[in-house]
Amino acid sequence: MVELANDRVLRALLSLPVDKTPIWIMRQAGRYLPEYRKVRQQAGSFMKLCKTPELACEVTLQPLARFDLDAAIIFSDILTIPDAMGLELSIVEGKGPVFANTVRDEAAVNKLFVPDPETELKYVCDAIRLCRQELNNKVPLIGFSGSPWTIATYMVEGGTSKHFSTIKSMLYRSPELLHRLLDILTQSVTAYLNAQIAAGAQAIMIFDTWGSVLTAEYFRIFSLAYIQTIIENLTKMAEKRRVPVVVFIKGGGRWMEWIADCGCDAIGLDWTVQIAKAKRMVGERVALQGNLDPAVLYAEPEVIRQEAEKILESYGEGPGHVFNLGHGILPDVPPENVKVLVDAVHELSENYHQQDEDDDEETLEE
Ligand code: 1CP
């Protein structure tokens, strides 16, 4: 097994004991950092940044140079797969992601193919390989993908959506066509994540940002079932360690019981969930990641510490918690406040973990 100087995140995601609660932050490399904005400008566009492994690696590591974070997450986007399928993604200032081509009818679905991750998406695998070298086993590197449903919303709508009218009318008018699209995406995401693991990703996160726009019944059929198929087909061990899988369904608090059964090791929670309640409901089955309201980072340092402590207290003693925000960090947050949060979580969480020598005997090997 490769020795990591800090493997708290990998241990906590598998509910193994740790000395302190680990923390990383969704979208930790991003616009709130002036050094990110500089590299992005240098790159010329968001996609150029993603597609240049040296630059993607540089921005991945930027937040780790500033803060004592317990993991890195590869800098990329969930929309690299449709871009690789020929939809041509651009990120437009003030508008978000926009596709040149959409997928709204049978002819468009027929044209789709499963991208080869070491060809069309090689730039992501290269960035992962480079990051692993640079990280030199200091902290683990997280790989990620969007869920088939969430990726499909962008492909069908053509970008960000308010009411998801186009994809929902597809769901109710041509469910078989939507299933075909989701099936191609499921194969693509599985191959992509396995390639990320082969390239060196040590944990995997699946983002289902828009699962909660579905009804409970259709969430299971059109989103969760596909996530489950992906997880069943992921590489379980790499470098003699388990590769934990986190599933984040924004707004999925009401479906925690179902999510806990999808084969994931941990559930990412948004800030609307009481973490104590989540632990009571599913804590025996999965670890939990989250779930500070991202807006807390606008507060004074003392308030940030208090709000962090509330979450630590709510989760209570024992392993199985990775601290994070309940969604991505907001672009106008002062970077100093992130340091306050990261240091507070490490300092305050020691009280919730037993400092027992015997714990070291439990390992991640199988
Ligand atoms: O620099 C810029 O102006 C572009 C902003 C940006 C960034 C920093 C986009 C466009 N993507 C990213 C990086 C990104 N996206 C990461 C990086 C790794 C990290 O540090 O965490 C990750 C994990 C994502 C994932 C992502 N992209 C999600 C899932 C998570 C979530 O936030 O819900 C989604 C929905 C996207 C789509 C997307 N890409 C970019 C934007 C602005 C969006 C959201 C648009 C929307 O709200 O619909």
DSSP 8-state class, residue 11:
H
Cα angle 211-215-159, degrees, rounded to a multiple of 5: 40
- Tell me if 115 CB under 6 Å of ligand 1: no
Catalytic residue (choose from 8, 11, 40, 104): 40
Catalytic-residue membership of 104: no
List CB contacts of 175: < 8 A, sequence separation 6 or more.
none
Question: In angstroms, how far is CA 262 from the centroid of its own chain?
Answer: 16
Q: Cα torsion at 207, 48, 27, 232 (round to 10°)?
A: 30
The pTM assigned to this predicted structure is 0.96
- For ligand 1, atom 33, the nearest C-alpha belongs to 209
Residue 355's pLDDT band, with cuts at 50, 70 and 90, is confident
Own/partner pairs for 180-183, CB < 8 Å, 24+ apart?
A: 180/109, 181/103, 181/109, 181/112, 181/152, 181/155, 181/156, 182/148, 182/149, 182/152, 182/222, 182/226, 183/226
Taking residues 168-194, report their average pLDDT.
98
Q: Taking residues 267-279, what's their average pLDDT?
A: 98
Indicate the length of the chain as a whole number. Answer: 366
Mean of pLDDT over the chain: 96
Annotated active-site residue in 7, 77, 83, 265: 77
Q: pLDDT tens for residues 210-266?
A: 999 999 999 999 999 999 999 999 999 999 999 999 999 999 999 999 999 999 999
Distances (CA, A) of 76 to 107, 147, 179, 189, 196: 29, 15, 26, 14, 12
Cα distances (Å, whole numbers) of residue 246 to 85, 144, 161: 25, 9, 25
285 classed as catalytic? no
Distance 284 CA to ligand 1 centre (A): 31
Neighbours of 347 (CB within 10 A): 13
Domains of the chain: 8-360 (3.20.20.210)
Please name the residue whose Cα sits nearest to atom 21 of ligand 1: 27
Q: How far apart are CA 173 and CA 13, in angstroms?
A: 40
Distance 334 CA to ligand 1 centre (A): 19
Identify whether 31 is a catalytic site residue. yes
pLDDT at site 53: 98
